Amino acid sequence: MDTRRLQTFVRIVEIGSLTRAADVLHVAQPALSQQISALEAELGQRLLTRSKQGVHPTEAGAALYRHAQVILKQVSDAVAEVGLSGREVAGHVSLGLAPYSSANLIALPLLRAVRSRYPRIVLRITDNFGAVLSEAMMTGRLDMALLFDSGPIKGITFERLLTEELVLVCGAGNCPGGGELAGREQDDVASLGGEPVGEGVHGGGSLREVSVGDLADLPMLMTGPTHTIRKAVARACEASGIELNVVAELESVGLMGQALAAGLGATLLPESVAQRVAEQPGLRILRVTPAIEVHLSLGVPASLPLSRAAECVRDLLRQVLAETL
């Protein structure tokens, strides 16, 4: 199969128009149509449907599009690796990070490490939700991803790297006990000559504890229902026989921090993420019992070999994660 035809097919699907694709590729439209016709004849399937709105892949075309992305990436990796044999490691590596995870805390240290040790590797980092990252790995658009591991996914191999507890992040008006909690903390500060006990925000002592049952009385700011954090919390609440009062679903870490600081509710986050969010004045971190855990894993495509550059980034990622968290 001619890889140039595959490249043309992929671009047409992505652009959604033969006319625009011809302009982008600097190829006459009749020539593009001939390439698609030749590809359809070779495969014995119609690959595109044409309408006034543009072109769309058929079921067979969608299948070819998925495989073509993988094939073209492998060809590109092979050409790059063979061409650089015996020389400095180079190439493009794509990494996905799950939001609301500790993975985002290592993005900058990892980028620094890659720039320092492998200056000819171009690292592309993106964050998105687990289902999107998994699909991108299976179609060859991502080399690897750090994401929450909620169980086996066909086509992805997971290497568990970190297990973290979820902790409660809240302001005085949205913590279990409300003003009573704030008063106890003032007493603790006075008894130790001004050093706070149990704040847990800057590492000053052990965290106060609240039960899962205490969460039922709080206005909760949570991730969407398909997010691994939300699912873990839902299981814990079901086991304790309670139902959360979810007042908003926020998929942005930045907005979550602002909403917490504004006193709009409380939330549950992995402890390393909570430590950063709770640096804002007035926020507290409390440990939840029984513990609610989430697992962070490195995922790679099960059937696609990593390029030499991707292997180097994977090894650096493990090292940076161990040093940072």
As given in the structure block, the two tokens for residue 238 are 């079901």
Q: What angle do CA 222, 208, 320 make, to 5 degrees?
A: 65
**pLDDT tops 80 at residue 103:** yes
Q: pLDDT-derived band of residue 124, with 50, 70 and 90 as boundaries?
A: very high
Report the 10 Å Cβ neighbour count for 143.
27
Across the chain, what does the average pLDDT equal? 84
Query: What is the rounded distance in angstroms from the CA atom of residue 5 to the CA atom of residue 47?
Result: 13
For the chain, the first-to-last Cα distance in angstroms comes to: 47
Residue-level pLDDT at 143 = 93
Q: Which residues pair with 211 in a beta bridge?
A: 289
What average pLDDT does range 38-57 have in this prediction?
Answer: 87
Q: pLDDT-derived band of residue 65, with 50, 70 and 90 as boundaries?
A: confident
**pLDDT tops 90 at residue 97:** yes
Residue-level pLDDT at 84 = 58
Q: pLDDT-derived band of residue 191, with 50, 70 and 90 as boundaries?
A: very low
31: Cβ contacts below 8 Å, ≥ 6 apart: 22
**pLDDT tops 90 at residue 170:** yes
What average pLDDT does range 294-305 have in this prediction?
Answer: 89
Residue-level pLDDT at 290 = 95
Q: pLDDT-derived band of residue 203, with 50, 70 and 90 as boundaries?
A: very low
Where do the domains of the chain lie, and which CATH numbers do they carry?
3-71 (1.10.10.10), 88-162+296-324 (3.40.190.10), 163-294 (3.40.190.290)
Query: What is the rounded distance in angstroms from the CA atom of residue 165 to the CA atom of residue 295?
Result: 9
Residue-level pLDDT at 204 = 40
Are the C-beta atoms of 96 and 313 separated by less than 8 Å?
no
Burial of 106 (0-12, 13-18, 19+ CB in 10 A): buried
Are the C-beta atoms of 167 and 285 separated by less than 8 Å?
yes
Of 92-101, 180-189, 198-207, the poorest mean pLDDT is in 180-189
